[in-house]
Structure 1
Amino acid sequence: MLCALEIRDMLIIDRLSLAFRPGLNVLTGETGAGKSILLDSLGFVLGWRGRAELVRAGAEQGEVVAEFALPAGHAAHAVLEEAGIGAEDGTLILRRVNTADGRKTAWVNDRRVSGEVLRALSDTLVELHGQHDDRGLLNPRGHRQLLDTFARIDLAPMRAAWSRLGQARRAVAAARTALEAMRSEEDFLRHAVAELDKLNAEPGEEATLDARRRMMQGAERIRADIARAHQALSEDGAGAILTDAMRWLEGAADRAEGALEEPIAALSRALTELGEAQMGVERVLDSLDFNPAELETVEERLFAIRALARKHGVLPDDLGAFAGDLRARLAALDGGAGNIAALEKAEAEADAAYQAEAAAVTARRTEAARRLDAAMAAELAPLKMERAVFATEITPADPGPEGRDQVAFTVATNPGAPSGPLNRIASGGELSRFLLALKVCLMGDAPGMTLIFDEIDRGVGGATADAVGRRLKALAAGAQVLVVTHSPQVAALGGHHWRVEKRVEGDMTLSTVTPLDVPARVEEIARMLSGDTISDAARQAARALLDG
């Protein structure tokens, strides 16, 4: 609920403080007195886009402060929480400043905020309705949401079903794209896998072959030296000499009284080491004894491994892993059709689930449309439009997260007349009453909001204006309603009444707003009835209106 509005140096308002109350609040005054400026100022502090120049002439800056009372569970709390702003005591204070050079700064509960935060709060705090309604009643794109709110339809299951369908469709499209891409390289994959499998290179094989090749290439050069060494170590060489020495020492050992034991032992060890060296040299000689064709075979495989590695841009030791990757891609290609079939089945199941949800929502919308049309008929009768027909039309639309229905509110103002959109068929006065009736029927969608009706009674009078006022009063029983009106019948039904008027001080025109007590209300309503000259008859008529 809007509790207070303070305006400083905005257009023709210098200083103004208003305290609003629950129920029906009416503002009256002559044309041009400044009633629209009040709404402009309120729209400014709420972040609405309006006039570019708002600062009063000669002032450095203009300022508007609005105070709202927020009950527990009000939708504004979620916006405040997201913005990191507290409102523990249930009070919300908006303040916005506009400097003369056009800069705008806003605060919420003393926390500086952007215009986006103000507008997000505005959507939960205030609704403005008039003959140029800007809150969705005249916009067919918002009619489906209004009907869903009236029907209390939870769209979360259908949005989830639509999301799952979208994911399934994207999975199928991605699989098809991937399959087409793989098919474009199918020949390469099959040739490369066959080539790699035929070679079947093992990790470390390239290094082994390279070492074997280098050894064979140097074998002839070193084999002669190793053979001479082997001859020197054989039984005809050093081995024979050591053996003879060992035999001679052992023959003399008995006569040397133990002096030859250590030399004999050392010589024995030398003969053992000599035998091991001889065996090692023999093994090397055996390894150097190769068929020249083997060198050619080793070189061919070594060069084949290196060439294939260069061809595919991998290291020789990685050829096996690379072949495994290609085989996996080839397997995916061979199994791609089956995978797509499974994904298409999942897509069909997701589509069936979505269609079921959409059909259920369509059924609920159709039933709700009948109830809304009946409720509108009941509301239009008191507004002297019992012959008008309001109809909620539901037609097929492209499927989406909110279903496959298009909703439009249409009217026919007279029996037999063609129906059409609200804003094209109804005249100004009729449109006002249609909007009022529709708002009464949809009131459940905006608990805790302040409703503002800007001259919604324009173009109507007499009994019709009285009916409009009574509907506004009924609407105010469950919400705070502010009405800018020129209708004495509507003004008389207000629970609280303010008069907006202009005054001239020097060369400056200023607007003031005055709360009216009962005598002052009689005078104001009498003025609205009779004009500038207020007669006793007009006062008597005003009292009759106030008495109900």
Structure 2
Amino acid sequence: MLRRLLIQDFVLVDRLELDFRAGFGALTGETGAGKSILLDALSLLLGERADGGVVRSGRDKADLVAEFDLAEDSPAIEWLASNDLSGDEGVLLLRRVVDAGGRSRAYINGLPATATQLRELGDFLADIHGQHAHQALLRADAQRDLLDNHAGLRGLAREVAGLWRDWQGARKARLEAEQGMEALQHERDLLAHQVEELRALAFEVADWEALNAEHARLANAAGLIEGAAAALDALSEGEAPLGAETERVAARLSELAGYDAALAPIAELISEAAIRMDEAGHELRRYRDRLELDPASLQRAEQRIEAVVGMARKYRVSPEGLPELLSEASSRLASLSALADPAALQAREAEARSAYLDAARRLSAGREKTAAELSGAVTAAMQDLAMAGGRFEIVLLSEPEGSAVGLEKIEFQVAANPSQPQRALGKVASGGELSRIGLAIQVITSESQAVPTLIFDEVDSGIGGRVAEIVGRRLRELAQAGQGRQVLCVTHLPQVAAQANWQWQVSKQTTAGITTSHLVELDEAGRVEEIARMLGGVNITDTTRSHAAELLGTRS
């Protein structure tokens, strides 16, 4: 859960350091004081897109740091290990620095990270419900995603979408093949001829290098023979061979070394040279004897080179590119051969359709089960939210042919009271009813989530009185639902704030023309004053304070 938050030079905040604990916490304050700044900072730390406008006026950058405690079974630990971002055991540090130009840097446990990594990790840490979240419930995609997330079906839904694409791809291939069979056959014939030519050439890059070397040797055979003979003549077979002369010089110096030992090593060096000359002469003789003019081999090499170069020129590639051309042509030919086989295409399409339908039916079964459970839970919650007799149902509208999202459309339907027929949520719910239903859905679905921190940003708008008190109690119960569970709520309702385990007050101050937001944790007396302000506005009376104390006394 969230343990500590440091905010510096962010919007109206100069510097703010907050310590958090488990349970239900309320964040209150006058309109415009900056209650949502804390949630905006958390959203950035959890991977939201950065904007230079969040940097406090006159500052170069905003600096945000969050510390989370990680339970032993937290999936965040495995994610950190797999991404080489692990830190101290049981502790996670996130940091986001945003400069005035809008550029940002992110860090996880002190190591550089991307905003995408922050978002991925954030899914294991916190879930933020924005103040307009209930409006999103009017969209079909949001309704479907909420159901799938609550049912743990996100992975299966992605699999279904992938299998749908495979099926439609196979279907498209079959249709294109049926419509363009003549063109396909023409291309197939051309490719077959090309593959046949290239295979008959039997060309390999390594052979090409060896062929060029052999051709160079054969083409210069006369020069090589002449050169080898001249070298032999100079070394050992001429009238004054260098080898014999070098031996005489070495022998003479060896005699003179008897008079001056300094000549001995020189004589030895010359003697070694004479030996090397003799060995070179033997090697040259063997080389010369092997050499011969071979016009037939030369002609064959030239013909092979001409064939390779001609083939490369024909297909407009380098000789070294011929093997790759053969591979590409063979692959394309195999694809076209499959396309030219209607039975194979139909079988492939049928297989893809079967795989899709199998996964889609499993998805439908999971959706149907969870839809019934969630419908019952929301209907029960509506009875406490001033909609007695109201009904909520998640309806699965069948689509036999299917789509990328499955074999049905998801529609949230509601009847706000017993006399009303059940219709789509957006067509029958008033603004207040939509807020209450949306909040009920959010609270109920949050109960099943594994994330330890749940944040609600003024999602209680449009409600009040007894209903607000019930909402506050539900949030308090939600915070107590699991060990280490943490619920934070930005609220303007005293009935909700009174149910919190602790309460923070946000205020705005202007000094020397500079406006800043401040946040303090309230003690019991401070909470009475703040809730009295929320109840009575500017003029707080003893009666208002008494009512505030009474509200605080309703906590169980």
TM-score of the superposition, structure 1-length normalised? 0.66
1:384 maps to which residue?
Answer: 386
Q: Does 1:431 align with 2:424?
A: no
- The Cα shift of 1:82 comes to 4.9
Q: What are the superposed Cα offsets for residues 195-234 of structure 1, whole Å, 9 maximum, x if unpaired?
A: x9xxxx9x9xxxxxxxxxxxxxxxxxxxxxxxxxxxxxxx
Hey, what's the Cα distance between the residues in 2 that align with 1:145 and 1:507? Answer: 47
- The Cα shift of 1:132 comes to 1.1
1:104 maps to which residue?
Answer: 104
Q: Residue 332 and residue 40 in structure 1: after superposition, are their counterparts in 2 closer, same or farther (change >3 A)?
A: closer
Q: Residue 539 and residue 165 in structure 1: after superposition, are their counterparts in 2 closer, same or farther (change >3 A)?
A: same
Of stretches 43-52 and 60-69 in structure 1, the one that deviates more from structure 2 is: 43-52
Match runs of 1:48-127 below 5 Å: 48-49=48-49, 52-77=52-77, 79-127=79-127
2:535 maps to which residue?
Answer: 529
Of stretches 127-136 and 62-71 in structure 1, the one that deviates more from structure 2 is: 127-136
Q: 2:488 aligns with which of 482, 485, 496?
A: 482
- The Cα shift of 1:359 comes to 3.2
1:150 maps to which residue?
Answer: 150
- The Cα shift of 1:430 comes to 2.4
1:362 maps to which residue?
Answer: 364
Q: Does 1:22 align with 2:22?
A: yes
CA contact (8 A) 2:24 2:500 kept: yes
1:519 maps to which residue?
Answer: 525
CA contact (8 A) 1:43 1:50 kept: no
Of stretches 478-487 and 435-444 in structure 1, the one that deviates more from structure 2 is: 435-444
Gaps of 5+ in 1: 204-305, 315-327
- The Cα shift of 1:28 comes to 0.9
2:406 maps to which residue?
Answer: 403
State the AA in 1 paired with 2:493. S
- The Cα shift of 1:401 comes to 5.5
Hey, what's the Cα distance between the residues in 2 that align with 1:456 and 1:444? Answer: 16
Q: What are the superposed Cα offsets for residues 418-447 of structure 1, whole Å, 9 maximum, x if unpaired?
A: 655545653443233212211233225521
Q: Residue 59 and residue 341 in structure 1: after superposition, are their counterparts in 2 closer, same or farther (change >3 A)?
A: closer
CA contact (8 A) 1:21 1:496 kept: no
Percent identical:
41
Hey, what's the Cα distance between the residues in 1 that align with 2:136 and 2:72? Answer: 26
- Please give the secondary structure, in 2, of the residue aligned with 1:53: helix
- Please give the secondary structure, in 1, of the residue aligned with 2:36: helix
Q: Residue 182 and residue 470 in structure 1: after superposition, are their counterparts in 2 closer, same or farther (change >3 A)?
A: closer
CA contact (8 A) 1:522 1:543 kept: yes
State the AA in 1 paired with 2:529. E
Q: 1:503 aligns with which of 498, 501, 509?
A: 509
Hey, what's the Cα distance between the residues in 2 that align with 1:363 and 1:109? Answer: 41
1:242 maps to which residue?
Answer: none
State the AA in 2 paired with 1:542. A
Q: Does 1:464 align with 2:467?
A: yes
Q: Residue 415 and residue 51 in structure 1: after superposition, are their counterparts in 2 closer, same or farther (change >3 A)?
A: farther
- The Cα shift of 1:370 comes to 2.2
Q: Residue 527 and residue 519 in structure 1: after superposition, are their counterparts in 2 closer, same or farther (change >3 A)?
A: same
Hey, what's the Cα distance between the residues in 1 that align with 2:178 and 2:185? Answer: 10
- The Cα shift of 1:164 comes to 6.7
1:274 maps to which residue?
Answer: none
CA contact (8 A) 2:388 2:417 kept: no
Hey, what's the Cα distance between the residues in 1 that align with 2:10 and 2:124? Answer: 25
1:12 maps to which residue?
Answer: 12
- Please give the secondary structure, in 2, of the residue aligned with 1:35: coil
- Please give the secondary structure, in 2, of the residue aligned with 1:381: helix
Hey, what's the Cα distance between the residues in 2 that align with 1:182 and 1:338? Answer: 7
State the AA in 1 paired with 2:543. A
Hey, what's the Cα distance between the residues in 1 that align with 2:453 and 2:502? Answer: 15
CA contact (8 A) 1:40 1:50 kept: no
1:455 maps to which residue?
Answer: 458
Paired positions, count: 423
Hey, what's the Cα distance between the residues in 1 that align with 2:518 and 2:533? Answer: 17
- Please give the secondary structure, in 2, of the residue aligned with 1:71: coil
Of stretches 177-186 and 494-503 in structure 1, the one that deviates more from structure 2 is: 177-186
1:323 maps to which residue?
Answer: none
Q: Residue 148 and residue 46 in structure 1: after superposition, are their counterparts in 2 closer, same or farther (change >3 A)?
A: closer
- The Cα shift of 1:138 comes to 4.8
- The Cα shift of 1:465 comes to 0.7
CA contact (8 A) 2:147 2:370 kept: yes
Hey, what's the Cα distance between the residues in 1 that align with 2:428 and 2:51? Answer: 30
Q: Which has more radius of gyration? A: 1
State the AA in 2 paired with 1:376. V
- Please give the secondary structure, in 2, of the residue aligned with 1:94: strand
Hey, what's the Cα distance between the residues in 2 that align with 1:184 and 1:122? Answer: 55
- Please give the secondary structure, in 2, of the residue aligned with 1:406: strand
- The Cα shift of 1:40 comes to 2.1
Hey, what's the Cα distance between the residues in 2 that align with 1:387 and 1:99? Answer: 53
Hey, what's the Cα distance between the residues in 1 that align with 2:338 and 2:544? Answer: 88
- Please give the secondary structure, in 2, of the residue aligned with 1:8: strand
Gaps of 5+ in 2: 203-306, 316-329
CA contact (8 A) 2:134 2:434 kept: no
State the AA in 2 paired with 1:63. D
Of stretches 350-359 and 171-180 in structure 1, the one that deviates more from structure 2 is: 171-180
Hey, what's the Cα distance between the residues in 1 that align with 2:112 and 2:134? Answer: 27
Q: Residue 516 and residue 349 in structure 1: after superposition, are their counterparts in 2 closer, same or farther (change >3 A)?
A: same
Of stretches 365-374 and 512-521 in structure 1, the one that deviates more from structure 2 is: 365-374
- The Cα shift of 1:388 comes to 3.1
CA contact (8 A) 1:149 1:445 kept: no
